[in-house]
Chains A and B, each alone.
Chain A
């Protein structure tokens, strides 16, 4: 990746973060439970990931999180939080919680880019296994719930959100697994080096 590409990616990340957090785009995306869970949340995470640029082992978070475990643990907790119906309701009804959501997801995205690279196949497998399993179960629960779980969203949309979450979790799990199959074991165990 060349220097120009890095700068462009970071600009794109900044633009995405601002658009999602501070423009009417947010209102459109959080108006529906499905878009909130399947677009707003993942895109904020992506914005942080892009903003981070290229992660190195010399960055501050790498010093405190050499194996990537802390970053991925925090990522799991943050993504879990924004799947909780009460947190989703508050992100719609309270402006300060809306900001908390944007900030935690962007920061998590940025931290996870480095943590992901440092975690190696084992750490990644643990993270992906945990999160996709949880998201898939949450998706099944949302599809089957006989009542509305969020006071701000309609039941029909809850069903769509559940279906989408199930598909997204499955797709992420499968994609990671296919990628893992393609990389020889020796390569993934190589220590991360600073170029």
Chain B
């Protein structure tokens, strides 16, 4: 017995298959816009700024303060912040980030932008990166304390909240270290994550930070 052909049924079947295919692929690519998690994150943040939680961090001088607090109490207008995440034992991408931050620091000082933009390096290695180790890292990178602050969250709960907000995924590299997606995160003076830039885009990150500063009254 062969089933009699019913064209409308076949049409319904095709329509269903096309609809389901478009839905699934559209979901996976955030509306046919991205293929990777990082690209999706960049797009979402640019469209919808994310408030950064006031996680307690310990700076290199040992003081505990909210993560985005200016290094010195001042009545001056708050600055935009370029945030990155590292761990000081890292031998791969963090080294690149350190060099990028040295370039950023030089650009900020040369262009006299230190009252508009500052740098913040957050270590996610809560157990290892105490103020002493961070200070050694800061010295190695020649961090200028007026522009470049370094800090470690005081606990893993705060650390995880920050990683979640910034969309940083830390994976074990199976050699006792970690691998993580590195980027330059632009936080506006109001404490909202407004842009995520590629780590190679030093000029773009500085421009985005200046835009974020200028856009905040």
Contact = CB atoms under 8 A, between A and B. Distances in A.
Interface stretch (B26-34, B101-109, B135-143): B26-34
Interface string B21-41: 110110111100011111110
Contacts of A81: 24-25, 27-28
A64 B179 CA distance: 48
Interface string A66-87: 1101110110111011001111
Contact of A85 (B10, B24, B37, B179): B37
A70 B16 contact: yes
A150 B174 contact: no
Nearest to A84: B28
Given A64-B10, A191-B2, A150 B37 contact: yes
Interface class of chain A by DSSP: helix
Interface string A21-41: 000000000000000000000
Given A64-B16, A153-B171, A86 B29 contact: yes
A153 B28 CA distance: 18
Contacts of A80: 25
Interface string A48-74: 000000000110011111110111011
B1 interface: yes
A63 B9 contact: yes
Given A81-B28, A154-B179, A86 B36 contact: yes
B2 A193 contact: yes
Interface size class of B (residues with CB under 8 A): 35 or more
Interface residues of A, number: 38
A63 B17 contact: no
Contacts of B9: 63-64, 66
Contacts of B174: 154
B37 A151 contact: yes
Interface string A184-195: 000000010110
Interface string B76-96: 000000000000000000000
A58 B187 CA distance: 61
20 contacts: A62-B3, A63-B9, A64-B10, A64-B12, A66-B9, A66-B10, A70-B16, A74-B20, A77-B22, A81-B27, A85-B35, A85-B37, A89-B169, A148-B179, A149-B36, A151-B37, A151-B171, A151-B181, A152-B169, A153-B171
A81 B21 CA distance: 9
Interface of A: 57-58, 61-67, 69-71, 73-74, 76-78, 80-81, 84-87, 89-90, 93, 104, 148-155, 191, 193-194
Given A149-B36, A153-B171, A58 B3 contact: yes
A76 B21 CA distance: 8
Contact of A84 (B16, B29, B179): B29
A69 B14 contact: yes
Given A71-B17, A154-B173, A66 B3 contact: yes
Nearest to B39: A86
A70 B20 CA distance: 10
Contact of A65 (B10, B22, B24): B10
Q: Which of B9, B12, B37, B179 has the most CB of A within 10 A?
A: B37
- Give the 7 A-B CB pairs with smallest separation, nearest first: A77-B21, A64-B13, A70-B17, A151-B169, A87-B28, A70-B13, A65-B13
B157 interface: no
Given A81-B25, A86-B28, 5 more contacts: A63-B3, A65-B13, A81-B24, A89-B36, A191-B2
B31 to A, nearest CB: 12
